[in-house]
Amino acid sequence: MIVDGWDQKLLEAIQQGLPISPRPYARLGDLLGLSENEVIERLDRLKQIGLIKRMGVIVKHRSLGYLANAMIVWDIPDHQVQEVGRQISEFEFVNLCYRRPRSGQDWPYNLYCMIHGKNRESVLKKFNFLEQCCQTQSFPREILFSVRCFKQRGAIYYHSDQELADG
Amino acid sequence: MLTPLHKQLLNDYQRDFPLSTTPYRDIAEELGISEHEVLEALTELYEANVITRIGPVIPPNRVGVSTLAAMSVPKEDIMAIAEIINKRPEVNHNYEREHHYNLWFVIIASNQAHLHHVIAELERLTSYSIMSLPLLDDYFIDLSFKLDFDDC
């Protein structure tokens, strides 16, 4: 994957938000010293190589009344985790599904998903539906509802030792 | 109050935002309205704090490295500890959750050494240990979100 300094600057700039004006890519280009076409071509390429997963409106769930969110963690046998993970990720209301390492006896969980809802009941309803469909009831699991959000922001870029950090 | 146009913009344009010289005009044409109406509605969504931005979502671990970090801290100390953690620019989500591991945050760094440094620093500053749970597989990394406006 080849990402040059211009790509990095472009990603950094667009992460602040695309201007809401008739020629937003031209505005972005003006800031960076790139032409409008170069901006569009580079973004298109970054999308094709998968460095941009999607491009569009980024919604704040909490301000739309999606106040409840739960992180659900399961301990799924290693040989089944991929299959179960893929099944879980198919549900419309699941918006993250990751495998992570177990961490000692205290934390045997290896599969994570996130469910948002307007309230606790609606999250639990979705969760129960998911467990029935995926037959995961027999696996050890925990539901970690969020209590408070101390910090939430989109991924940002910053420079460290002239290296580009992640988003 | 969200109008039907607001809802349409929120649900239909979380992905595949037009990469053309006039993306807002393209959206307007798709919806059969004026470009001005699209710009105005999006500005309203920004101002109402409903959207954070229009922009890209970048998958984790494609540039740099990240981890999900968890800490178990006494309830009465959690605010103070969260504040210390939030000061690091490498931290981009920080939630209190119902569990004895009650503080959960994401750390994003430029490389492994940088990540280890941040973890060590936070452990030193807070005097609590961090359980680091880096991503191994993404089964679904698309952060678009289907909004159900009837589910109130």
- In this predicted model, what pLDDT tens digit does every residue of A150-165 receive, in sequence order? 876 654 433 332 222 2
Domain of A114, CATH number, reads: 3.30.70.3460
Q: What is the reported pLDDT for B62?
A: 64
Helix (H) or strand (E) segment spanning residue A26: helix A24-32
Q: What is the reported pLDDT for A110?
A: 98
Same domain, A103 and A46: no
Range picked from A55-59, A63-67, A156-160 for highest mean pLDDT: A55-59
Q: What letter represents residue A44's amino acid?
A: D
Same domain, A81 and A15: no
Which chain B residues contact residue A97 at CB under 8 A? 138-140
Same domain, A75 and A137: yes
Domain of A29, CATH number, reads: 1.10.10.10
Q: What value does the mean pLDDT of chain A take?
A: 86
Q: Is the pLDDT of residue B146 over 70?
A: no
Closest CA to B23 of A51, A157, A39: A39
Beta strand residue intervals within A6-140, DSSP E: 54-59, 68-74, 94-99, 111-117
Same domain, A141 and A66: yes
Same domain, A79 and A121: yes
- Structural domains counted in chain A: 2
Q: What's the pLDDT tens digit per position in B17-64?
A: 999 999 999 999 999 999 999 999 999 999 988 898 999 987 766 667
Which sequence spans correspond to the domains of chain B? 4-47, 65-134
Which chain B residues contact residue A14 at CB under 8 A? 55-56
Can you read off the two tokens belonging to residue A146?
A: 């969020």
pTM above 0.80, yes or no: no
B119 three-state secondary structure: helix
Q: What is the reported pLDDT for A94?
A: 87
Burial, A18: exposed, middle or buried (Cβ in 10 Å; 0-12, 13-18, 19+)?
buried
Concatenated DSSP letters for A75-99? ---HHHHHHHHHHHHTSTTEEEEEE
Select the residue from A134, A150, A156, A160 to test the B interface by mutation, using most B Cβ atoms within 10 A. A150
Q: Is the pLDDT of residue B144 over 80?
A: no
CA gap B98, B78 in Å, rounded: 12
Lowest mean per-residue pLDDT among A128-132, B2-6, B109-113: B109-113
Q: What's the pLDDT tens digit per position in A80-92?
A: 999 999 999 888 8
Residue entry with tokens 């990240």? B66
Q: Which of A50, A85, A86 sits opposite B59 (nearest CB)?
A: A50
Which domain does A51 fall in, by range? 5-57
CA gap A51, B56 in Å, rounded: 9
Fold of the domain built from segment(s) B65-134: Alpha-Beta Plaits (3.30.70)
Count contacts between A and B (CB, < 8 Å). Answer: 269
Which chain A residues contact residue B53 at CB under 8 A? 15-18, 58, 154
CA geometry: angle at B49 spanning B144 and A147, to 5°?
75
Same domain, A52 and A81: no
CA gap B14, B11 in Å, rounded: 6
- Given pLDDT bands bounded at 50, 70 and 90, which one contains residue B149? low
